Structure 1
């Protein structure tokens, strides 16, 4: 019952067979099509040092050519698209089943005082690593209290 109360699709006034079929439909679409919403993609770790920010972003299954990185007005934007086509064929090479999935997603991060000309990015085994060196004017300034 506690899980029912936490379920965002739950309608407390929905009883009987209608509730069963509604929950079945929500479960079917939530589980089978979660890749289309990319809810768990672009998991990001951002580390800051005195010299730079380092963003590590998980993008499993995304091809390097489908990535776009932009930095403007202190905002890092990472965009990607994911397209998957699968075919199943029988022993006579006849098409039995075909699935196509497509999705686009992007994420933005506010990272101030970056030297735009020195930003670097590497993509290896589904992990995008972006290094954003801080500009010289980004040094910390201690303010004296009077």
Structure 2
């Protein structure tokens, strides 16, 4: 015999994401601030290198930090928006965010950190990450 269960439309399942934020006030989260967006990345692999393109709109070049540790790539950035209100003005809706965001991911091969390059143009960070040469595997003789 099958069990009968109650359906909870707001339970933690993929369909609950459909209603996420639907009943949020017009001003966004607490204090009228919207949550910081995620860094969107495209990663492609060639024979000798990886190419990463990360969207970071509205971020200054000096506020971006990229770290490479073996095959782990970490991108972080901070965005600061100045709240300029003239006398008699009030904020009705604020969607431009302030804060910090980061993204880390691992690649299949280790990266040659010395030869890696980064370029930032029009809100897109482009990373060229050469693969380290595969080290020769040495077979140990068994005595």
Normalising by the smaller structure, the TM-score range is 0.5 to 0.7
Q: How many pairs align?
A: 116
How far apart, in 2, do the equivalents of 1:73 and 1:119 lie?
12
1:1-146 aligned at under 5 Å gives the runs 6-8=15-17, 24=23, 26-28=24-26, 29=28, 33-34=33-34, 36-38=35-37, 41-89=38-86, 94=87, 96-97=89-90, 101-111=97-107, 112-137=109-134
Aligned-pair Cα RMSD in Å: 3.1
CA deviation string 1:72-126 (max 9, x = no partner)? 132110000111114243xxxx463477952111101102221111000000010
8 Å CA contact retained: 1:87, 1:97: no
8 Å CA contact retained: 1:57, 1:128: yes
- Select the structure that is richer in strand: 1
How far apart, in 2, do the equivalents of 1:69 and 1:23 lie?
35
What secondary structure, in the 3-state scheme, does the structure 1 residue paired with 2:62 have?
helix
8 Å CA contact retained: 1:55, 1:130: yes
TM-score (norm 1): 0.65
TM-score (norm 2): 0.66
How far apart, in 1, do the equivalents of 2:72 and 2:54 lie?
16
8 Å CA contact retained: 2:70, 2:110: no
Q: Which has the higher contact order (CA 8 A, sep 6+)?
A: 2
Unaligned runs of 5+ in 1: 11-21, 140-146
What secondary structure, in the 3-state scheme, does the structure 1 residue paired with 2:114 have?
helix
8 Å CA contact retained: 2:39, 2:55: yes
8 Å CA contact retained: 1:81, 1:105: yes
